[in-house]
Amino acid sequence: MTRRLLVGLTCAFAACHSVPAHAEGKNLGFLAPIDECSLYDDAVTGGSTAGTSTTAPPVPEKLLADYMVAIPCLVSALEKLKAEMDSPNFSPVVRAKFLRATGAVRTIMAINNSPEEKLRKVIEEFRKANSPDVASVLSFGARSDDYNTRLNAMLVLSNVVDNTTVCAPIDHLYDAGALDQGTGAAIKGRANLLAVVSVVAPWAYKENYANISNVREFWSKKIPPNDPKFKQTLEILENIRARLDSQKSSGSNRFVPIPEDLQKCKRKFTARWAPSDKFKY
């Protein structure tokens, strides 16, 4: 199957219509030196007003020139937001931190978007440092009631999600009490997370294939088929089905257990909402 990178997404209110598959890099784990990351942490948190600023300037572009340093530090900054992003209704201060961190990643992707191989290397660096916890932070962003927060979350998460981190958006999709509301934020957030999950479907390994299939079935039974308000969501659900069905050959990933070096979801993630009979590693 041909896989290509996402340079950008066409989104309506940051709920994406479709998300093509892209290449999956090895996730080996990476920790940037603490002293190198301190500048990025200060920029994300607001510098001298760390923890309180909603008006600090974006991360300086001079810090983004070397993506092999910047990306691991920005991933680390996003992971540190986990304790402050326990729901999609986070404070303006936390939103500002999230927007600065994800905005910096978007800038790096834009700077390195050509040729495609250059962007691929940026995404691979992100995946090396990535974790299900970071994917969960981004998933909360994708569910936010703020347009810019959803947009930034989607432009990052849909590019970097893979077999090692798709467990996070799948788990979020089982937060039905929040996502089954009739509000715009719930509808867009659910569509966003389903669109992210669809990215991995054509190359999902056995466990993720089953988990994606289960969450698709969960929402297919809940979404009214003839309500125009859910037209986009139904289209994404059908897109997931088609992407899963593309794995027909006996040599496809759906028949292969997740390789040992890609088992971050198994080793490092505990589901918060997903039922144990529908979400297994």
Distant-in-sequence contacts of 55-60, Cβ < 8 A, 24+ apart? 55/96, 56/96, 56/100, 58/100, 58/103, 58/104, 58/107, 59/100, 59/101, 59/103, 59/104, 59/107
* Per-residue CA distances from 220 to 12, 138, 215, 233 (Å): 21, 24, 8, 9
pLDDT tens by residue, 82-133: 999 988 899 999 999 999 999 999 999 999 999 999 999 999 999 999 999 9
> What tokens were used for 195?
């669109």
Where residue 50 falls among pLDDT bands split at 50, 70, 90? low
Q: Which two tokens stand for residue 273?
A: 């909402």
The answer to whether the beta carbons of residues 202 and 247 sit under 8 Å apart is yes
Question: What is the pTM (predicted TM-score) of this model?
Answer: 0.88
Q: Residue 160 above 50 pLDDT?
A: yes
pLDDT digits 0-9 by tens, 124-143: 999 999 999 999 999 999 99
At 169-203, the pLDDT tens digits run: 999 999 998 998 888 899 999 999 999 999 999 99
Place of tokens 């440092």: 129
- Between CA 247 and CA 241 the distance in angstroms is 11
User: Tokens 């050509």 correspond to what residue?
Assistant: 114
Percent of the chain with pLDDT over 70: 85
- The predicted-structure confidence for 5-40, as pLDDT tens digits, reads as follows 443 443 433 444 333 344 454 444 445 555 789 999
What's the farthest any 2 CA atoms get from each other in the chain? 57
The pLDDT value recorded for residue 33 is: 52
Question: CB of 80 within 8 A of CB of 137?
Answer: no
